[in-house]
Chain A
């Protein structure tokens, strides 16, 4: 069984994001870019399935600029067998990505497609679900445990206030939550080997899809700065402020 893992190139989780002064977006100049952490969990899960003998091949896929090759090489170093870049200079949005991946899935016929539940830049949490609809596949989102059972996959989902267990017929879509696994480090010998693994580049046109954005970003603004605190003289003054200014007690 093939496992396909879409991965997104995003601003590193540890970077303090700065909004451009003109509000047109986030300043990416000299900023560390990495594999979206949830996608990294997806790669780790796929590699573990392969190590356990449940999967035969792990394919990492990215939709985006040529720079995404850097993140695909990371996935290859982490254990993916081959990588595909669907290259576009367009700004990538969930629907376009889902369409491109659905077209690729029609060719690859992967038994399992593991998405990150969302990307930490756009926070859309849409691509996996849109893909499932377009490819007409069942989906188990926000997975904290994935078990292959014959031609079915059991997914334990993190839902509000508890866990939900679902069983899906494969081919199926899974999206990863934070607790699914802890990704390994890329070993240097594997990074060297990854340079020789195949990385195919397609254009959206090759796949017969249009990934042009359908939404326009009008403005990006940073969160409002928190006002400075004050020191009050007495408990009475504090209670008064909490009651009448902050209105958090009555």
Chain B
């Protein structure tokens, strides 16, 4: 009699025992697949590779492995399926939703050693990347060839292409260049069943039914692990300008957006509040951009060639009284320092261990939504500082509630947790998303129903069991 997969997994799982420290003993099959330097089991490595940027759950993986080839990943998944060993994929570990946290004795699969750009074709403008290629490395690679990889965000110096795809990362240029999804022309994936799927192999046109590639984009490692990606590169960007405008009233930000979009093509339209600006300036010792501080700021980026049209739009928004002051970068160095005002915020508020929320509503619904959420937080906890910033051009707001110094982290998170359902109810009422670009991970898994109907969640569960029949691929994330 042969054992079925499930039975075998159950028997093998029962063979594992807990060590004295409470950590699950490491599955022995890892040594059969990987050489010793590809396996780490010490506490420091487990703590390092076992988590992302979230700090609400302590990392406790049983081991970290560093595969070098797709074959090794496939062998690992197959053995993990047989032994019911849970696997957690790990990229640049810059996630903000706990999607890469291993807190329950899982084996972390780090793609740090699969970091090569294997191939590039100038005619197709496609770079074939291993999943561990750092986003910034792909950007430099493109730049060296007179091209551009246009998906960009504050963590591009650490984040991996594989992680970008698994979370469908967006960032600061979405308004013009779209999301990671729009640049993936092919994927090779090892599913939870241990199958290697080659999806779309770089084609632009491919009308042969379900495009499986897009199921893996944004799947947070719950269906399979990406082992190779074909990334399309864009024509190099024109020299650009950055403008920062002072906008006293939040609703006027949208009028400013519309006024500029009427005149020019924006490659970014970001906003931040005075509170956010104060924090980032203090943290990075940056100069005040405008001579007259105000409540909100918009940061715009556009091509140099559109400067005259942008100035015309500026004249209009000044006349209308929506904008009180503004500056325009006169060099790329200045453009970079103006961007710091926006990109440095997340890091500068980290010391306040903020309660983060990454929300999206339609652009037109933003003003009412922002007011309601602010009121909701202030009504419950009037002494909490609410720090807003985000990619307002695409409807994406980053809400950060800052912890008062006197409060313990536990109490603070617990308090914020009590208002989460109210905030998500506001999102649902506005027809928005409880996670615009940070993913669901563990942080929002309990709230998925605010953005997805029971029917949709049932379909998602069906897909999960189809691709990951043993439930070993990043369990506890996205769907719980």
| B331→A12 contact, CB < 8 A | yes
Q: Which residues of B contact A189 (CB under 8 A)?
A: 318, 325-326
Majority secondary structure, A binding face: mixed
| A35→B239 contact, CB < 8 A | no
Q: How far is the CA of A13 from the CA of B238 in the complex (A)?
A: 16
Identify which of B265-273, B333-341, B402-410, B446-454 touches chain A.
Answer: B333-341
Is B258 at the interface (CB under 8 A from chain A)? no
8 A Cβ contacts from A22-52 to B: 30-32, 34-35, 37, 40
| A188→B325 contact, CB < 8 A | yes
Q: Which residues of B contact A30 (CB under 8 A)?
A: 236, 238-239
Is B418 at the interface (CB under 8 A from chain A)? no
Complex interface bits, B426-448 against A, C-beta within 8 A gives 1, otherwise 0: 00000000000000000000000
Majority secondary structure, B binding face: mixed
Q: Which residues of A contact B236 (CB under 8 A)?
A: 30
Q: How far is the CA of A186 from the CA of B338 in the complex (A)?
A: 12
Q: How far is the CA of A35 from the CA of B334 in the complex (A)?
A: 11
Complex interface bits, A178-191 against B, C-beta within 8 A gives 1, otherwise 0: 00001011111101
| B333→A37 contact, CB < 8 A | yes
Answer whether A184 and B333 are a contact pair too, CB < 8 Å, given A16-B143, A30-B238, A191-B328.
no
Is A15 at the interface (CB under 8 A from chain B)? yes
Answer whether A186 and B327 are a contact pair too, CB < 8 Å, given A32-B304, A192-B311, A192-B315.
yes
Q: Which residues of A contact B239 (CB under 8 A)?
A: 12, 30-32
Is B329 at the interface (CB under 8 A from chain A)? yes
Who on chain B is nearest to A34 by CB?
A: B331
| B334→A185 contact, CB < 8 A | yes
Is A139 at the interface (CB under 8 A from chain B)? no
Q: How far is the CA of A15 from the CA of B335 in the complex (A)?
A: 12
> Which of B238, B245, B315, B332 has the largest number of chain A CB atoms within 10 A?
B332
| A188→B332 contact, CB < 8 A | no
Is A14 at the interface (CB under 8 A from chain B)? yes
Is A118 at the interface (CB under 8 A from chain B)? no
Q: How far is the CA of A189 from the CA of B243 in the complex (A)?
A: 12
| B336→A14 contact, CB < 8 A | yes
Q: How far is the CB of B376 from chain A (nearest CB, A)?
A: 35
Q: How far is the CA of A15 from the CA of B239 in the complex (A)?
A: 10
| A185→B338 contact, CB < 8 A | yes
> Which of B244, B329, B333 has the largest number of chain A CB atoms within 10 A?
B333
Q: Which residues of A contact B287 (CB under 8 A)?
A: 182, 184-185
Q: How far is the CB of A201 from chain B (nearest CB, A)?
A: 20
Q: How far is the CB of B97 from chain A (nearest CB, A)?
A: 33
Q: How far is the CB of A231 from chain B (nearest CB, A)?
A: 11
**Of A14, A15, A35, A182, which is within 8 A of B330 by CB?**
A35
Q: Which residues of B contact A13 (CB under 8 A)?
A: 331-333
Q: How far is the CA of A25 from the CA of B336 in the complex (A)?
A: 27
Is A74 at the interface (CB under 8 A from chain B)? yes
8 A Cβ contacts from A161-190 to B: 182, 184-189
8 A Cβ contacts from B259-317 to A: 287, 289-291, 304, 311, 314-315
| A188→B331 contact, CB < 8 A | no
Q: How far is the CA of A164 from the CA of B476 in the complex (A)?
A: 66
Q: How far is the CB of A48 from chain B (nearest CB, A)?
A: 14
| A188→B329 contact, CB < 8 A | no
| A188→B326 contact, CB < 8 A | yes
Q: How far is the CA of A185 from the CA of B328 in the complex (A)?
A: 7
Q: How far is the CA of A35 from the CA of B325 in the complex (A)?
A: 23
Q: How far is the CB of B382 from chain A (nearest CB, A)?
A: 35
Q: How far is the CA of A186 from the CA of B331 in the complex (A)?
A: 11
**Of B143, B290, B315, B331, which is within 8 A of A35 by CB?**
B331
Q: How far is the CB of B340 from chain A (nearest CB, A)?
A: 12
Q: How far is the CA of A186 from the CA of B330 in the complex (A)?
A: 7
Q: How far is the CB of A244 from chain B (nearest CB, A)?
A: 27
Q: Which residues of A contact B329 (CB under 8 A)?
A: 185
| A14→B331 contact, CB < 8 A | yes
Answer whether A185 and B289 are a contact pair too, CB < 8 Å, given A32-B304, A192-B311.
yes
Q: Which residues of B contact A12 (CB under 8 A)?
A: 239, 331-333
Q: How far is the CA of A154 from the CA of B315 in the complex (A)?
A: 42
| B328→A186 contact, CB < 8 A | yes
| A32→B314 contact, CB < 8 A | no
| A14→B332 contact, CB < 8 A | yes
Q: How far is the CA of A77 from the CA of B143 in the complex (A)?
A: 32
Who on chain A is nearest to B334 by CB?
A: A185
> Which of B143, B239, B325 has the largest number of chain A CB atoms within 10 A?
B239
| A188→B314 contact, CB < 8 A | yes
> Which of B143, B291, B336 has the largest number of chain A CB atoms within 10 A?
B291
Q: Which residues of A contact B304 (CB under 8 A)?
A: 32
Who on chain A is nearest to B335 by CB?
A: A14
Q: How far is the CA of A78 from the CA of B291 in the complex (A)?
A: 13
13 residue pairs A–B, Cβ–Cβ below 8 Å: A12-B239, A12-B332, A13-B332, A13-B333, A14-B333, A30-B239, A31-B239, A184-B287, A186-B328, A187-B326, A187-B327, A188-B314, A188-B325
The 5 closest A-B pairs by CB, nearest first: A14-B332, A34-B331, A185-B327, A188-B326, A32-B239
Given pairs A13-B331, A14-B333, A192-B311, 16 additional interface contacts (CB within 8 A): A14-B331, A15-B332, A30-B236, A31-B239, A32-B239, A32-B304, A32-B331, A34-B330, A34-B332, A35-B331, A186-B328, A187-B327, A188-B326, A188-B327, A189-B318, A192-B315
